[in-house]
Structure 1
Amino acid sequence: MKQHIPNFITSLNLLSGTLSVFAAFHGLLAEAAILLFLSSLFDFGDGFAARMLKAYSPMGKELDSLADMVSFGLAPMVMLHMMIKQVILGSFDADIFQQSFGVQALMLSPFVATVFSGLRLAKFNVDTRQSDSFIGLTTTATGMFLASLAFVFNQGSGWLFDMLQNQWILLSFVPVFSFLLMSEIPMFSLKFKSFGLKGNADKYVLLLASLFFLIWMGMGGIAITIALYVLFSLAKYLKK
């Protein structure tokens, strides 16, 4: 029975990710973001359960990638699509197919990043270099960044919300994340092998920063923390 526990948790990741897609397409961005955050907990939980129970399986690996593709490859891009649609057309319910081809292309562009998410997950499954750290930004981090912004967008106030009213800022996330997902930039892992300060200083700094930004900005702090994570990783890469 214990062999099926990690796969059950992964299935919950897939279910909440699917519901997040459904909610996002109906303009329920806060609900979609919360469901995606729930997916991220299940994504952590299945790996934790597999390590605790030593319940690894080829099926679990494939199911995990499928769940991540829906939860962190598709759902956040639907949120980004809906945000762009709201800013450009002024309504979640507007018919994009009555617009010009250029406007349609802009609003559908987030799904290009969905393709890069699929490539990122496939690359991770065959890349032996990514056992202790990551090469390129993970789909989970990408999804949580965009879900955080979607939650802020739904709140309708604050400096971060004002920034998200610029369609070009929203559209810039597509090439930026498409590049980061497939880049060769090493991203340090937040997994602790020990709890001492030696070798973990960057992780503790990031965790403290995330706590500060969450208290200060609420859900929007998640996006700021992930941006810091990318900058920290890039700084370490350039230093080496």
Structure 2
Amino acid sequence: MSLTRHIPNAITLVNLFSGSIAAIFAVQGDLVMAAIFVALGIFFDFFDGLAARLLDVKSELGLQLDSLADMVTSGLVPGIVMFQLFRQALPGAAAQSTDWTAGHDLMEWNFPALALLGLLVTLASGYRLAKFNIDERQTDSFIGLPTPANALLILSLPLILIFQPQPVLVDIILNPWFLGALTLFSCFMLNAEVPLFALKFSSWGFAENKVRYLFLIFCVVLLIFLQFAAIPLIIISYVVISMITNKNDDERLVERT
């Protein structure tokens, strides 16, 4: 029995392992290390699918395992990170204990209850991944924002706070109303019936991958000049470009008919 068929699943398990480590760091409040391990998990998430296509060993087990790994890396961790951001932004954050073992009373919480709104991201991610597994439309493109893209969007916020603490950016990110709006936007976009192009290359020709190549160049330029602050702009641009591309395709289809 060939061992090659196990390679994609092994890569997926590395994604799950990375996401599990990221969850531990996120709970502890070390959001930089959480972001590093989420990025590592997303890296392996990209290559497990690539390995499956190259080795021609796609399986139903691999599909389910991939979604379970994504649920941790790109679903659970972003929810915890959003919780931590809410916890910091809500009134009285400075007085809250950072000891997760503090308080033995069942009704005594060492965080504001409203911070639990951040976990809506985790719920919406789980719903999206369950839909993805039974949606046959999402083979060459996505319907709604992929969980890894959403995870990068949310994980970029603490990185901006730590490495690019511009007063304006800090005031925006640590505004509870902004975090609430972003949480709702995240939940909506994860499950919206909005077609988005996938960064999957079936060939390397420029003509058939023009949008993908131009978008990647655009991303590199933004990252060079704006660093972590570029990530939210990249995700928003990804949605906008997809919508424009889909509209143009629909118009060309109408003209042909």
TM-score (norm. length: structure 2): 0.85
Q: Which amino acid aligns with 1:38?
A: L
1:187 and 2:189 are equivalent in the alignment? no
Look up the match of 1:86.
88
Of 218, 226, 232 in structure 1, the residue corresponding to residue 235 of structure 2 is 226
Q: What SS does the aligned partner of 2:43 have?
A: helix
5+ residue gaps, structure 2, are 103-107, 251-257
Q: How many residues are paired up?
A: 236
Q: Measured at CA, do residues 135 and 26 of structure 1 come closer, stay the same or move farther in structure 2, by a change above 3 Å?
A: same
Q: Measured at CA, do residues 209 and 190 of structure 1 come closer, stay the same or move farther in structure 2, by a change above 3 Å?
A: same
- The runs of at least 4 consecutive aligned structure 1 residues that moved more than 4 Å come to none
Which whole-Å CA distance do the structure 2 matches of 1:161 and 1:45 have between them?
34
Paired residues of 2:172 and 2:178 also in contact (CA < 8 A)? yes
Q: Measured at CA, do residues 42 and 78 of structure 1 come closer, stay the same or move farther in structure 2, by a change above 3 Å?
A: same
Task: Report the CA distance between 1:92 and its aligned residue.
Answer: 7.4
State the Cα RMSD in Å. 2.0
Look up the match of 1:66.
68
Q: Measured at CA, do residues 87 and 52 of structure 1 come closer, stay the same or move farther in structure 2, by a change above 3 Å?
A: same
Q: What SS does the aligned partner of 1:137 have?
A: coil
Q: What SS does the aligned partner of 1:218 have?
A: helix
Which whole-Å CA distance do the structure 1 matches of 2:236 and 2:98 have between them?
31
Paired residues of 2:75 and 2:151 also in contact (CA < 8 A)? yes
Q: What SS does the aligned partner of 1:134 have?
A: strand
Which whole-Å CA distance do the structure 2 matches of 1:125 and 1:92 have between them?
40
Alignment of 1:1-240 (within 5 A): 1-88=3-90, 89-90=93-94, 93=98, 97=109, 103-104=112-113, 106-155=114-163, 157-158=165-166, 159-238=168-247, 240=250
Which whole-Å CA distance do the structure 1 matches of 2:58 and 2:26 have between them?
33
Larger radius of gyration between Structure 1 and Structure 2: 2
Which whole-Å CA distance do the structure 1 matches of 2:134 and 2:45 have between them?
19
